[in-house]
Homo-oligomer: A and B are copies of this chain.
Amino acid sequence: MPAPDDQHDVPALETRASFLLSQLGLQSAQRFTAALAPLGITPNRFGVLAHLARQEGRTQQELATALGLHRNSMVGLIDDLEARGLVERRRHPDDRRAYAIHLTPSAREVLAAGDRLADEQEEAMLGELSAEERAALIATLTRLVASAGYRAGVHPGLGSAH
């Protein structure tokens, strides 16, 4: 049988930080998705709740802008969260076109539970590293995020900037 012509002068993807980051980043997202599933929400929904928790009463448009997605997409996200009893659409006091989105007590429980799950995941992913290595990694990653021009805590996966 003709042996396959092996060639080893090939792009070494696995030694590049950009590839490793992409690999680990997707893995991290997939794990978090699986961890949140029993709570009935996705990382996207969790991100909206977390953002709301910092300032309730925002309009859908404000939330969409803050999270970098289109207001059309926010409709479905809020529909979902409302159907699960995690947010309420109240009338906006100043603008009768807009809703003021508020968290329910149930949402605060979900946020706390998700936070615990994120802690467990952090432990599982970084378990091999020493405290110093963890600190160095987080410091470096934080610098890279800042230099990329992202606002802290805003994940690009929510939408692709409109």
Contact = CB atoms under 8 A, between A and B. Distances in A.
A137 to B, nearest CB: 5
Given A2-B57, A24-B25, 4 more contacts: A5-B55, A21-B141, A23-B155, A25-B29
A72 interface: no
Nearest to A160: B30
Interface residues of A, number: 70
Q: Chain A binding site: helix, strand, loop or mixed by DSSP?
A: helix
A127 B143 CA distance: 11
Interface of A: 1-2, 4-8, 10-11, 13-32, 47, 50, 53-58, 93-94, 111, 114-115, 118, 121-122, 125-129, 133-134, 136-138, 140-145, 147-148, 150, 152-153, 155-157, 160
A2 B155 contact: no
Nearest to A144: B24
